[in-house]
Structure 1
Amino acid sequence: MSENWHEPFPQGPVELVLVRHGESLGNVAATTAQLSGAEVIDVPARDADVDLSPVGYDQAKALGLSLAGIPAAQRPDAIWSSPYMRACRTAEVAATTAGWAVPILLDERLRDRELGILDTLTATGVEARLSGEAARRRWLGKFYYRPPGGESWADVVLRLRSLLADLERQPGATRILVVSHDAVILLFRYILEGLSERQLLDVAATSTVLNASLTRYGRDGGRGRWRLESFNVTEYLAEQGVALTEHGGDADVHPQ
């Protein structure tokens, strides 16, 4: 047995800030399709390549101006981002605007949930074209339903647990900012707060993770359970005269 077996686990981060990307062209297209009763969302590119909308760019700049006010000693040591364009653009614009010379690390484990056969379909489209899948999703609920070729929320949780283990081992990283997607941020809550499926789905049914919102976790000494200190904060957008946008998913998330 190694003589170092008794050494404590190295100190991990003391702060984790989760940011949803700014409004995307895909968000706008999806909301337009839902309001019009369309079956298909007219997305401008594959999901990974969907850019921010003009409002989304304004939100990312406003985020950067807000972050610029953080004292140097409390700024993140690194920014981790989903590689999807809407997320990494948000990270890049915010960091540049804030004047932060910190690395932006792209990690595919932070990408949005993959929808497989349901990709580009509205809820109306799924019911009309894939009624069997619609029924299966209602039966299983959003956490465990996996569309053919896609992922369940439980699948996303697996990759996030792997990522969190890597974050714990980052040398010298005491504060980390993560830019990702609405479902991913909800699933961070599931892991970090030890929520049950029911508790998670209750949050998902009643809360929309807003574009460019901040969710903050802290813990003492870089060890132990994370504390949720704030969720879905967007006040800085109104303070800077930037539009608040709300593009949520399906609130019908519980198994039936």
Structure 2
Amino acid sequence: MITAVRHGQSESNVAYARAQASGTAVVLTGADEDVPLTPLGRRQASALGRRLARERGPDVVWCSPYRRAVQTWELAAAELSAVPEVRFDARLGDRLMGELAGMNLAAIMRRFPEEARSLLRAEYGYRPPGGECFSDVADRVRAVVGDMRAGYAGRRVLVVAHDAVVLMLKHVIEGVALDSVAAFAPVTNASVSVWRGSRAEIFNDDGHLRDISL
């Protein structure tokens, strides 16, 4: 069984949401892998841990090395009675945006209008300069799933990662076509998705977050 969770709300999530609501361009500075959780994201991660504890925690954890994912796991783990084996794997990192890193769509349209048009024409097939398209993310996710199945068959595996990774797990495990994955986005912060074999039992479930104050 593979359970996947997206990290809790991060500071970049908040910055992008505010920019979208106001229609402004934003370019975040600093490395994407260093972005931390917000206070709400920390509460979400703890609530996730309480859910995992109720459902019998994982046997092994595969975690993105990005700070927001690591923090999510650490806070969730604090709610568990026993800490499982943990592996940090760069293949579970967020989608690389290359020269467009840190930019929201408004900023891309202002600085790189041709790239913005390409992105809008085919979001899931678009590869930014120096970055990844979703099929690139799918390739590394597919390799990780292969390693999980080879080394941890019959065990409860938890993946702590990013929205792009969770969407590509749906593509890889269930065979959902890349051009159909958009119907399942966005993946909610700290939501839970569970697969047994090639079947999704739940996807993007956030019921454990309903009592978390904003």
Residue equivalent to 2:45: 60
1:183 to 1:202, Cα distance in 2 relative to 1, 3 A: same
1:171 to 1:196, Cα distance in 2 relative to 1, 3 A: closer
Q: Deviation of residue 172 (structure 1)?
A: 6.3
In 2, distance between residues paired with 1:37 and 1:57? 27
1:117 to 99, 102, 107: 99
Paired residues, number = 214
- What code does the residue aligned with 1:24 have? S
- What code does the residue aligned with 1:242 have? I
- For the pair 1:213 / 2:194, whether they are aligned, the reply is no
1:184 to 165, 188, 203: 165
In 2, distance between residues paired with 1:113 and 1:216? 21
Partner deviation per Cα, 1:96-119 (whole Å, 9 max, x = no partner):
222232122110000000111111
In 2, distance between residues paired with 1:194 and 1:171? 21
In 2, distance between residues paired with 1:172 and 1:99? 23
TM alignment of 1:214-233, pairs within 5 A: 214-219=192-197, 226-233=198-205
TM-score normalised by L of structure 1:
0.79
TM-score normalised by L of structure 2:
0.94
Unaligned regions of 5+ residues in structure 2, if any?
none
Residue equivalent to 2:26: 40
Partner deviation per Cα, 1:173-209 (whole Å, 9 max, x = no partner):
61100001111101110111111233223333xxx21
User: Helix, strand or coil: the match of 1:143?
Assistant: helix
CA-atom RMSD in angstroms: 1.6
User: Helix, strand or coil: the match of 1:112?
Assistant: coil
In 2, distance between residues paired with 1:201 and 1:31? 19
User: Helix, strand or coil: the match of 1:195?
Assistant: coil
Greater gyration radius: 1
Partner deviation per Cα, 1:59-112 (whole Å, 9 max, x = no partner):
1111111211124xxx32101110000001101110122223212211000000
Q: 1 or 2, which has the higher helix percentage? A: 2
In 1, distance between residues paired with 2:7 and 2:176? 24
Unaligned regions of 5+ residues in structure 1, if any?
1-14, 220-225, 245-256
Instruction: Check whether the contact 2:124–2:179 (CA below 8 A) recurs between aligned residues.
Output: no
In 2, distance between residues paired with 1:183 and 1:37? 24
TM alignment of 1:1-256, pairs within 5 A: 15-42=1-28, 45-71=30-56, 75-139=57-121, 141-171=122-152, 174-204=155-185, 208-219=186-197, 226-238=198-210, 241-243=211-213
